[in-house]
Structure 1
């Protein structure tokens, strides 16, 4: 994965040094082509492998909408987009070993590690590596390598890598636990590490920076009390000492409410953690606890208030900044990627049950020593507008 040193609050004007370094100037960018699965998907595997953005799996409701009782479909299709030549379009790769969604992805030097998830029947322990090697005429040849399965099935979890070790945690774990698992890509052995602090975190974000993991957001639901708990914070884990630290609260929202990075996504830019997307705290909690209106699934997109603000944590200073609305980041189940000077939001839901095929690109701009981020291209594809 390519990274940049930058220090910005997206959509705001700040000095470049706030996160360390600079963007090195603006990059000419074009709108990226829509994802080739009609209607888009939610919760796919996605990441950068060299110059390629690789996306596969995920799920949607291709026939009858979810609001009308439709059946969810899981996909095994896999695609790659050459970010050096995005106009060349998506390249069809061999299908995933099975149709999966709600798995966890980690970018590594060996390729894209995909772990867990679920198919149409149940959660899985499967783990595999998507890799590319130079082929004839310098055309990349793609393949899979099986990795040792997870010790327990995990869906809706999160993954990150540090120095050749892939860490997986959160989500629905088969034993109901809160374990952190580590896979050393050299020894190919899984190790169970200390559990993260309560409560459980389903659909969290896991980021790695400065020798630490940061487990952010997520939610848990207790069916016996019909109570939904949404942690408005993140918990650091020190890779060297193997200890979890104290929770770091999210900033307070402008309206005095809380942020819910549940179903959200994130990226690391220099020494800053970027968290965005996901559901609205109050609306989601009420729905999970059975207090939503009868027409909950049929409200307009704006009603659900999916998060399009960006929470930025400076790991050096230990403080937060919040960017106001960045159009196109309001996705649940999308994946935020970083490629050179571009942030990329891959698919996801625009409202419960309705996916987007858009691959949203956001470019860094430097004007008179100040930086901002603006969307590149459209916000919704024409196909998605018709569905909505």
Structure 2
């Protein structure tokens, strides 16, 4: 424990003295998440300095490669990242076991939306919020989705939650909006064009939404479609537009960012994690081979870099080879000038309990208002 506290103190010191540079520094870990084998696709976000993580799924009894059964969780935990010796504390259980939903940080708490479990896809929406006494949290129901949605993406812009992509009940591409101040129901907006986008990323630049990547599964008549572009939605006009392509891999291959995660500052969007385009497409199309789940993690070539897009100058930068970033189904968060990669898969079917922290070295390049 003393060693972990010393590491945390060194981390803070390194961040303070490194603000004159411009790329993420070396990573470190917080205490492992309490579910020993880790989870993928949990709800995760910050309430003040408390990192909240709940739900998610894994294969606890037998690996997926051996036909193991996926288990979904309703446990929820919190950790104060500003504590000298951070420790996880249990919170009230979620209303049901759930993974593959969306979590959105709001001034009133962490809003958790949709998802799925072993029994069904979900419409449930609720907010985890701080109670009156320290280290106490409560769960408040919010208006349910008009249809079941899982593996979607969401973001908060001007007091409104926007949700799109994923597996929608009728294979739609709808965009939904909930004004947290006035709405009692979700409003259905213009559908995004093109194929479905399961596991996309949704961020914003304070003016418009950016819908990034995702995939459409194969059908009886067609192969899968992995989207390697970015669409924008302008709330003022209610229109979708093509923005750009996702930057290519270093070897020139496409990216789809499926299983990846993203966040934004006032000046940049930041993307991390996700699967390899070509390897994942073969798996979706049934062409990966019977030994697909048996390889070492490095074989799957999950993205181990950070992609950053400057909203003003329309310029991409890449920060490669970041330890702990190569995850699918992990959650990338930004808090007090640090990036957090929360849990996720290190290969298909194998999760990690690690929470990896990346202090940002240049404050003015990654402004954030926690």
Residue 27 of structure 2 contacts residue 356 of structure 2 at CA under 8 Å; is this kept in 1?
no
Partner of residue 146 from structure 2, selected from 147, 151, 157? 151
Give the match for residue 280 of structure 2. 284
Residue 239 of structure 1: CA displacement?
Answer: 2.1
Partner of 1:338: 334
Q: Work out the CA distance in 2 between the residues paired with 1:318 and 1:88.
A: 38
Query: Does the residue aligned with 1:117 lie in a helix, a strand or coil?
Result: coil
What residue is the counterpart of 2:39 in the other structure?
A: 41
> Mean Cα displacement is larger for which, 312-321 or 166-175?
312-321
Query: Does the alignment pair 1:90 with 2:85?
Result: no
1:297 equivalenced with 2:293 (yes/no):
yes
Could you list the per-position Cα deviations for residues 179-226 of structure 1 after superposition, in whole angstroms to 9, with x for gaps in the alignment? 000011122321001001111100011112222111111100131235
**Separation in structure 2 between the aligned mates of residue 371 and residue 166 of structure 1, nearest angstrom:** 26
Superposed, 1:68-79 pairs within 5 Å as 68-79=66-77
1:352 partnered with 2:348: yes
Q: Which residue of 1 aligns with 2:11?
A: none
Match of 1:214 in 2: 210
Give TM-score scaled by structure 2 length. 0.89
* Partner Cα distance (1:371, 1:235) in 2: 24
Does structure 2 retain, via aligned residues, the 8 Å contact 1:15–1:371?
no
Taking structure 1 as reference, are residues 86 and 169 closer, same or farther at Cα in structure 2, changes over 3 Å only?
farther
Question: Compared with structure 1, are the counterparts of its residues 365 and 303 closer, same or farther at alpha carbon in structure 2 (3 Å cutoff)?
Answer: same
Provide the C-alpha distance between the structure 2 equivalents of 1:370 and 1:206, rounded to a whole number of angstroms: 23
* Structure 1 stretch displaced more, 60-69 or 156-165: 156-165
Instruction: After TM superposition, give the deviation of residue 354 of structure 1 in Å.
Output: 0.2
Cα offset for 1:237?
A: 1.0
Give the length in aligned residue pairs. Answer: 348
Give the unaligned 5+ runs of structure 2.
1-17
Give yes or no for contact 2:26–2:322 (8 Å, CA) kept in 1: no
Note the C-alpha offset of 1:29: 9.3
**Displacement of 1:252:** 2.3
Q: Secondary structure of 1:71's match?
A: coil
> How far off its partner does 1:109 sit?
1.1
Compare 48-57 and 81-90 and name the one that shifted more. Answer: 81-90
- 2:4 maps to none
- 1:252 pairs, out of 248, 255, 259, with 248
Match of 2:173 in 1: 178
Asked whether the 8 Å contact 2:44–2:103 carries over to 1, the reply is yes
